[in-house]
Structure formats: C-alpha cells, structure tokens
Amino acid sequence: MTLPAAQHTEGKKNVTFRVFRFNPQVDSKPYFDDYTIPVERGITVLRSLNYIKEHIDGSVSFRAFCQAGICGSCSMRVNGLSQLACTTQVWDVLAKSREPGIIKVEPLRNLPLIKDLIVDMDPLVGKMVHYSNWIDSTMPEAKMGIKEFLISEEEFLRYDKATDCILCASCVSECSILRANKEYVSPAVLLKSYRMSVDSRDSMHEQRLAELVKDHGVWDCTHCYRCQESCVKSIPIMDAIHGLREDAIESRGKHDTSGSKHAEAFMTDIEKKGKLIEATLPIRTNGVVWTLQNLLPMAMKMIMKRRTPPPPPLVKSVKGIKIFRTMFREMTEHVKQDQKSHKK
C-alpha cells in the first residue's frame, strides 16, 4: 500500500514501515505488511504507526499510552532492536537501516505473541511475584504513616537508577538466556530484585535471595550485556546482576549453589594460572556425579574429535603470572574494602 503523493521534498522522506502482522483468529502464521508514508524529521515511530492506523489500516494493532517514554507500553522491535516506539525517531532509525528507506517493526521477543505487535506481559508479572519484587517493610502495618525511615542520600543513590525501570520489557526481549529458557528469571526482574535487596527498609532479603540462587535464577546470566545495551532508560542492569551475585556469595557462602561454585572456581584458576583449567571446571562447579551423568557423552565426543582441554598439570601459567597475581590480590583487597564501606 503506497500513498499516491510520492514526494521527496526536503525535510520529508518516504518511509516504508514493514509491519509484523498476526491475527490468531485468521492467520496460521505471521507475515509482513508494507505501509509507505511521508515522514518529516522529528517524527517518532509511534506517531508513524498512529498515522498508519488512522489513515491507512485500522487493523494494525499495537499498544501505546503515555507517548512520552514513561509508561512502557509501546516497546517493540524496530529494525531488530527492542525499544520504545514513542521515543524512537524515524530518521535516526533510517540512518542506520540496512535496507534504505525501510523500517521493520516487530513484536518483542521472549514473550507470548497475542496479535501483531502486542505480546503478553503476564509471564513477566508472574516472575515479579515469584521473586517477591516488593519491599516487605520492617515497619509493621499498624505503625505505618507515623514516622519516616531516615535514609541517607548515599543509600538512595544505590537504588535510584534501578527505580527508573518502567517494565517495558525491552531487556526481556533482548535477553539471550530467555531465548533458550523461558523460565529464566529475566533481566528486569533481577534489576527489581536488586533494587529491593539494597533497600534498608526491606525485611525479606534472605528469602528473595534464596529463590534467586535456584535454577533459572541469578547464576544463569551469561554476561552478554544485551539487556543493558538495549535498556531504554540506560540503567546499568549488569551492575545489578553482579550486585546480586556478590550479595549471594557474601551472605550464603561460596559453596551455596553450582553458580557460586562456578564463580569461585574461576577466581581460583585465574589467581593460580592466569587462565581457566577447563577440564575440571564442570566437576568443581557441579560435582563428580553430575558431571559423569551429564557431560560424559559430550566428553566422549570431544575425545573423538580431539577437542579435549588439556589436563590440569599441563595447563601452564600465563606469562608474567607473578606480577599478575600481585595485581589480582590487590584488586581483590580493594573490592573487599569497597564492599565493607558500602555496608556502612
């Protein structure tokens, strides 16, 4: 569908929006519809979609509410990247578009599709509930409203940025773990969990953490940083995830779960050799029994293909290991002191 007046005046460009379409009532599989409209500088993707809906095809379905980047309704994938349609400038996207003049608009990934650009947010809400993403106040309900907690600016700053989260689920859509495992806690919920955990008013730190260290929890993140890169509010989500992990090791010990054991094994290897001793890593993380049960077939295949990592005695230390160790210990000391001063 193309508008008749195909004009290329200055300040206006004809842009084709390639919109993902799926109506579960009639479509057996999704397809794309092209809508070409003139767009001037300063127009957002959402305004373009509104224009298409009002003037060309009323059946194009998407969510939108505040139109000011604060409610989080209109998150979708624009040219492959999850973001808010209302704060995304069409011309900015065009400048980076692989196919000139074409903007592809698709629903978020990793959440069940409802229709066109609309996905189901219920799984995310379910996880917020599962991981107690709330403050369970140390103040009994009957005493609320009488006195303020005194909270330092320093403590406020610890969670200030995390409270910017508008639950738009862009990070959920970009998360590489969720693509493989829909049960994974998801970045937004980890961020919110962190925000609650560092709040001194909260009383359920231990319980929340106990849930987070289980399977599908905080240790499943692979540090791909996609959540942080795509965050529409530029929240350092990975800092929150690291914060939760440090918290878990500190308050639950190094041998708590396979996650913490894995992290611990990394630290030991790096300090000792300056690199990983991969052959024994699974054993140290998950124990002998688990490794034999789960990794033996893969180990056999690796032997067949001669891809096995060298046995521990053959792993040589990296060059300059002595200087590295000094630096490593110094850094570890710094981190410990930082954590101590944070606690105060």
Partner 1 sequence: MKPFDIVIVGGGGAGLYAAMEAMKTNPALNIAVLSKVYPNRSHTSAAQGGANAALGNKAKDDTVEMHIFDTIKGSDYLADQDAVDVLCSEAPKIIRELENMGTPWSRLEDSTIAQRPFGGAGRPRCCYCSDKTGHTILQTLYEQCLRKGVLFFNEYFALNLSVSGSCSNGLIAMNMKSGKVEAFPAKTVIFATGGYAKMYWNRSSNAAGNTGDGQAIAYRAGIPMKDMEFVQFHPTGLRKSGLLVTEGARGEGGYLLNKDGERFMARYAPEKMELGPRDLVSRSLETEILQGRGFDSPAGKYLHLDLTHLGADLIKSRLPQIREMSMNFEGVDPIEEPIPVRPTAHYSMGGIDTDNQTRTVMGGVYAAGECGCVSVHGANRLGGNSLLDILVFGRIAGRTAAEEAGRFTPGTISEAELHAQLQEVRGGMQSAGRYERYGELREELGQTLALNVGIFRESSLLQKGIEDIAELKERFKKVRIFDTSDVFNTNLMQVLELKNMLDLAETVAAGAFAREESRGSHTRIDFPVRDDAKWHKHTLTTLVNGKVTLGEKPVTMGRYELQERTY
| Footprint on this chain of partner 1 (rule: CB under 8 A) | 23-26, 42, 44, 50, 53-55, 57-59, 61-73, 87, 89, 114-115, 118, 121-122, 125, 128-129, 132-137, 139, 141, 143-153, 156, 159-160, 163-164, 166-167, 196, 199, 201-202
Q: Which is nearer to partner 1, 121 or 277 (CB)?
A: 121
- Those residues whose C-beta lies under 8 Å from the C-beta of residue 152, and which sit 6 or more positions away, are none
Residue type, 50: N
Q: Which is nearer to partner 1, 118 or 295 (CB)?
A: 118
Q: Which is nearer to partner 1, 10 or 148 (CB)?
A: 148
Q: Where are the beta strands (DSSP E) in 59-146?
A: 75-78, 81-84, 102-106, 113-115, 118-119
Q: Which is nearer to partner 1, 137 or 286 (CB)?
A: 137
CB of 210 to partner 1, least distance (A): 17
* DSSP helix/strand/coil, 11: coil
**Across the beta sheet with 81-84, what order do the strands follow?**
31-40, 12-21, 102-106, 75-78, 81-84
CB of 308 to partner 1, least distance (A): 49
Q: At what angle do helices 187-197 and 205-212 cross, to 10 degrees?
A: 150
CB of 203 to partner 1, least distance (A): 11
Q: State both tokens at 133.
A: 């993403």
CB of 160 to partner 1, least distance (A): 7
* DSSP helix/strand/coil, 339: helix
CB of 58 to partner 1, least distance (A): 3
* DSSP helix/strand/coil, 342: helix
Q: Which is nearer to partner 1, 102 or 114 (CB)?
A: 114
Q: State both tokens at 32.
A: 């794309």
Cα–Cα distance measured from residue 248 to residue 35, given in angstroms and rounded to the nearest whole number: 50
Is-contact 274 317, C-beta < 8 A?
A: yes
CB of 28 to partner 1, least distance (A): 15
Q: Which is nearer to partner 1, 162 or 315 (CB)?
A: 162
